[in-house]
Structure 1
Amino acid sequence: MEITVIASLSAQRRARDLAELPGAVVDVVVVGGGVTGAGVALDAAARGLSVVLLERADLAAGTSRWSSKLVHGGLRYLAHGEIGLARESARERAVLLGTTAPHLVRRLPFLVPDAAGRDVTALAAAGGRLGDAVRWSVPGGRGSLPATRRVTADDVGRMVPAVRPGRGGVVFWDGQLSDDARLVVALARTAAAYGARVLPGATARAVDGGTVHVELDSGEGFALRAGAVVNAAGVWAQRLAPGVRLVPSRGSHLVVPADRLGSPSAALTVPLPGSRSRYVFALPQDGGLVYLGITDEPVEGAVPDDDAQPSDAEVRQLLETVNQVLTEPLTRGDVVGAYAGYRPLVLPASAGAGPGNATADLSRKHLLSWDGPVLTVVGGKLTTYRAMAEETVDAVVARLGRGSARSLTARLPLVGAAPRVALDRVTAPRRLVARYGTEAPIVEALGPDLVLPERPETVGELRFGVRHEGARTVADLLDRRTRIGLVPADRERAVRAAEQVLAAEL
């Protein structure tokens, strides 16, 4: 069976869209190409609205590529009594696992070892069972994940061999993305399949009434008119909506070789000292790496455009926390990479001047706020992006008086998605299927040669990124379409391959 590429974000399509947009009138302009903005663009386009998505840099260039790559059910929300938010998270996780992106989301066991303390595992067991009950209460949740259970010392040794031997633990289950940036790209391409114009390298400089002034990264500019402007710029949302009250926080991760933890098959879960709801996770990844995170530190002042960097204190905190349960402690010498991202936390109206250092305790609820034709959507979590987008477009449809009143996205598979039985029949390497779904054979056919001998990424992935996923620069290819850039030494050696592909394809 021949497989065709749907909704190619090619250089030709971008040039055509740019030629048509100056002076155009559209229903919705979405500002921000992260998971929220891409989700809004898809929801709006699927309802029949004309949509333009503007992103100043690249798809997933901001917060959305710096997550823990988890699709989680909100156990932490339960600890803070936010049952509604936990149910929403569990419902959206089931949608992603079952319909939206089964190729990008997998089940992942989380191990809380008794080596962290029996009081810790008792609390984890209680929380896990409460999370199971919440999952069972939402559509599609009952059969989506296994139940929480006790495990033996032998089980612990098999799941995470680096944990001190001789004691058991508790396992609960959640969802893991193969790559958060790939989810954003899939959303944007699916939106494009419904007619949305997706434009990385285009900054919304100002909104004057219904007129949006756009500056391209080439230095050129143009204006277009929109019935509504959705501000989904995350921690940078205040540039278009100064009245929105945000308290950004920084979440950091370390990248370590998986063999330093015995190549774990489960996520090692260790509580931060003194906390009953915050954990450090050692999250196994394809390609022989583990991501160790996550911190939650308040950010003072304006959020810069440049990527965040973990502080020395965060590095120390992550290593010291996980080392509590390891036979051989991790050291800074084991760290081969690190990354950090900003969270756009919303400050409640009742909070007065600010929450001090309590960003970890701020709600992950999102905010919708109109200011003239601009609707700001900010806050929330990656897991609940679809629900946020649906609520946002509901508000836009009500304001415009056109477009379908019902969202389609809970039943709408993204490009590459298929039921798991169909994904199992795709004739391509399993790693490519987990990243490209039904399009994996196309990616494989574009070139199976490895970008670097000791890494799994292929030249075909780079070519596919340029031809069909809107990649225009080395950073787009190495830092977002693939994640080679998470290990700086590998990134440096892969630059030449990326440059060669760009020269040949553009």
Structure 2
Amino acid sequence: MTPNSSWINETTRQSSLAYVAENMVDVAVVGGGITGAGVALDAVSRGLSVALIESGDLASGTSGYSSKLVHGGLRYLAKMEFPVAWESARERRWLMATIAPHLIRPLGFVIPDARSAPVWEGLVAGFGTVIYDVLRRLSGLGSKVLPRPQLLSSQAVAALAPGLDVAMLRRGYLYWDGQVVDDARLVLGVARTAAGLGAHILRDVQATAMTAETVDAVDVRNGAPLRIRARSVVNATGVWAADFDPGLTVTPSRGTHLVVRAERLGRPHAAHTVAVPGHFGRYVFVLPEPGGRVYIGLTDEEDHSADGHHPLVPPHDVDFLLDVVNATLAVPLTHDDVVGTFAGLRPLAEAAHGDGFDGTSDISRRHLVRNEPGMPITIVGGKMTTYRRMAQDAVDAVVGRLGSSAQCRTKTLPLVGAAPATVLRNLPVPARLVAKYGTEAVEVHELALLETILAEPLFEGTDITGAEILFAVLAEGAATVEDLLERRTRLAFVPADADKARERVAQILALAASGAFGRGGAQ
């Protein structure tokens, strides 16, 4: 396999470090989550030279610990935030139809209509799904991608979500939304597409100060200082954005998820929603995921003390989620059923929208671009679904400063690995790999032919092979065992699974670093 221009690895990191030390770029982007990656891609696709720096691994903050949904904003309709819902629906259309059809799949959501609830509540829910589908149609996303909503009998509900207590239900309502096979993979896809167009992607480089035209930073691997000179600087650091912009107030909101084995809930084929009592328009989601897991989330709690890379999950978050979801289940979950937890911090920009009546859950998810003369351009807020539009608005501000007329191209720019469904279906490799890598599944499959250790699963009970670990090192910027377990495979979401894989992952990483597999670009 020959390295290609979209690969990110140790060789490209060293090359990019040398380049930015000697050369000015048009745009320096600070932050390697979905927003920063999106800004880098938008800017480089307009013909601007770009350097992106991230203090740790790509997607190691909020962007890697979301609910893994690309959604049109049904909850925003419930809260009468029509502009946010419409923007979400449009961005979902671009993502599912063109940008990343290989990474985003349709997922059905069941809204249970409980016998104990007033009849009008079920009717309102059904009406909401119809309005939601109108947004889908107006956005241009066809029903072949996201099917129309349906009224379900209690028996149909049981077939889709076997864990529900069907005896408690009158009926159910089914609507469809987008599910990202892995949010970290979406970030990697955006960043690697930017790299393929010439952007310099630098992980493990921490910004210490910013001006409108410089970023002072340190290489966290060796402590070496670095100054990046740019014609414009973009602050896309999420929950850390206010550290570099004294005029901004960011409220971190902790979103916690529980991880449960899918068999415990009857291996559901659809997600289901549970209304949070006393909080109109707020829901807990029960989300089936690849690999035999179900994620249950999420909380929405202000948390200024949490580590943005590894927010701790407090016991009361676990209790809250179990209490809410158990109200709908035939056999309630216990703490013993929770095999893992994870959380991310949403960066909610109070300066743009003010606090909400219901704490952080009521702060708008709209994004904010701060373009103050003499300061870096700051982009903050929003959500994963709207990252592309956030990036477009930020880069529009950049080109305004630079006096450029370059227009945004990202609505129709596919990410690396993307292809029409007909192409993906006919790739001569396992469907599981196609769902994770798109057209690059062929390259991953070829790596498995090199050595037995690459063809074998990492441990009994997983489908993830050594070839996927090697590809993550060669092409996706993974540098440590933690990168591989936490973000390239997501095995760390179930610590017991991560422990089973750790030794084999470390072995493959060491062999790759030594060049034992004879593949360029790993050094």
Regarding TM over 0.5, the answer is: yes
The amino acid that maps onto 2:14 is: A
Instruction: Quote the offset at 1:373 in angstroms.
Output: 4.1
Aligned mates of 2:411, 2:189 — CA distance in 1:
15
Secondary structure, aligned partner of 1:127: helix
CA distance in 1, matches of 2:495, 2:27: 38
Q: Which amino acid aligns with 2:381?
A: G
Query: Displacement of 1:407 after TM fit?
Result: 0.8
The Cα shift of 1:69 comes to: 0.2
How far apart, in 1, do the equivalents of 2:177 and 2:47 lie? 34
1:123 shift after superposition:
2.5
What SS is found at the alignment partner of 2:27?
strand
Q: CA deviation at 1:114?
A: 2.5
Residue 10 of structure 1: how far off its partner (Å): 2.2
Matches within 5 A, 1:64-213: 64-115=63-114, 117=117, 118-140=119-141, 144-166=145-167, 167=169, 168-208=171-211, 210-213=213-216
Alignment of 1:330 onto 2:329: no
Show the counterpart of 2:271: 267
Q: 1:316: which partner in 2?
A: 319
Alpha-carbon distance, 1:51 to partner:
0.2
How far the C-alpha of 1:275 sits from its partner, in A, is: 2.5
**Residue type matched to 2:175 in 1?**
F
Q: Quote the offset at 1:357 in angstroms.
A: 5.5
Identify unmatched segments of 5+ residues in structure 2. Answer: 449-454, 514-523
Distance in 2, matches of 1:36 and 1:129, equals 31
Matched residue, 1:387: 389
CA shift in 2, pair 1:33/1:192, >3 Å: same
State how far apart, in whole Å, the 2-side matches of 1:419 and 1:5 are.
Answer: 21
Aligned to 1:375: 377
- Are 2:259 and 2:294, in contact at CA under 8 Å, matched by a contact in 1? yes
Residue of structure 2 in register with 1:439 after alignment: 440
* Correspondence for 1:464: 471
1:143 offset after TM fit, Å? Answer: 5.2
Distance 2:141 2:290 in 1: 27
**Is residue 483 of structure 1 aligned with residue 490 of structure 2?**
yes
CA shift in 2, pair 1:202/1:149, >3 Å: same
RMSD: 1.7
User: SS state of the match for residue 166, structure 2?
Assistant: coil
Aligned to 2:521: none
SS in 1 for 2:114: helix
Structure 1's consecutive aligned runs of 4 or more residues displaced over 6 angstroms after TM superposition are none
Contact 1:7/1:192 (<8 A) preserved: yes
What is the count of residue pairs matched by the alignment? Answer: 501
Distance in 2 (alpha carbons) for counterparts of 1:330 and 1:96: 35
Residue 15 to residue 124, structure 1, CA distance change in 2 (3 Å)? same
1:258/1:288 contact within 8 Å kept: yes
Kept in 2: contact 1:23–1:225 (CA 8 A): no
Structure 2 CA distance for partners of 1:360 and 1:350, relative to 1, 3 Å:
closer
Please tell me whether the aligned partners of residues 91 and 141 of structure 1 are also in contact (alpha carbons under 8 angstroms): no
Deviation, 1:41, is 0.3
How far does the alpha carbon of each residue in 1:314-361 deviate from its partner, in whole angstroms, 9 at most, with x for none?
A: 11111111111111100000000000110001114574xx55861101
Offset at residue 120 of structure 1 (A): 4.0
* Distance change >3 Å, CA 60–CA 151, structure 1 → 2: same
User: Does residue 1:24 correspond to 2:36, yes or no?
Assistant: no
Shift of 1:19: 1.7
Deviation of 1:142 (Å): 5.8
Determine the C-alpha separation between the residues in 2 that align with 1:306 and 1:227.
29
Counterparts of 1:41 and 1:306 in 2: how far apart (Å)? 21
Give the Å deviation of 1:499.
Answer: 1.1
Distance 2:4 2:507 in 1: 23
Shift of 1:302: 5.1
CA distance in 1, matches of 2:482, 2:240: 21
Cα 1:249–1:113 change in 2 (3 A) is: same
Q: Is the 8 A contact 2:211 2:375 kept in 1?
A: no
The percent identity for this pair of structures is 47
Instruction: Give 1:251's aligned residue.
Output: 255
Question: For each residue in 1:2-46, what CA deviation from the matched residue of structure 2 results, as whole angstroms up to 9, or x when unmatched?
Answer: 997551112111111112221421100000000000000000000
Which deviations, in whole Å up to 9, do the C-alpha atoms of 1:208-246 show, x marking residues without a partner? 452221201121112121111110000011121122111
Task: Report the AA paired with residue 7 of structure 1.
Answer: S
With the length of structure 1 as denominator, give the TM-score of the two structures: 0.96
Between the aligned partners of 1:105 and 1:283, the Cα distance in structure 2 is 14
Q: Secondary structure at the match of 1:206?
A: strand
Unaligned runs of 5+ in 1: none
Answer with 116-125 or 443-452: which moved more. Answer: 116-125
Quote the offset at 1:104 in angstroms: 0.4
Any idea what SS the aligned residue of 1:461 has? helix
Aligned partners of 2:259 and 2:293 also within 8 Å: yes
Contact 2:353–2:363, Cα closer than 8 Å, also in 1? no
8 Å CA contact 1:3–1:439 kept in 2: the answer is no
Structure 2: distance between partners of 1:42 and 1:358:
34
Q: For 2:267, what is the secondary structure of its paired residue? A: coil
Output the CA distance in 2 between the equivalents of 1:119 and 1:475. Answer: 49
| Distance (whole Å) between structure 2 residues aligned to residue 327 and residue 494 of structure 1 | 34
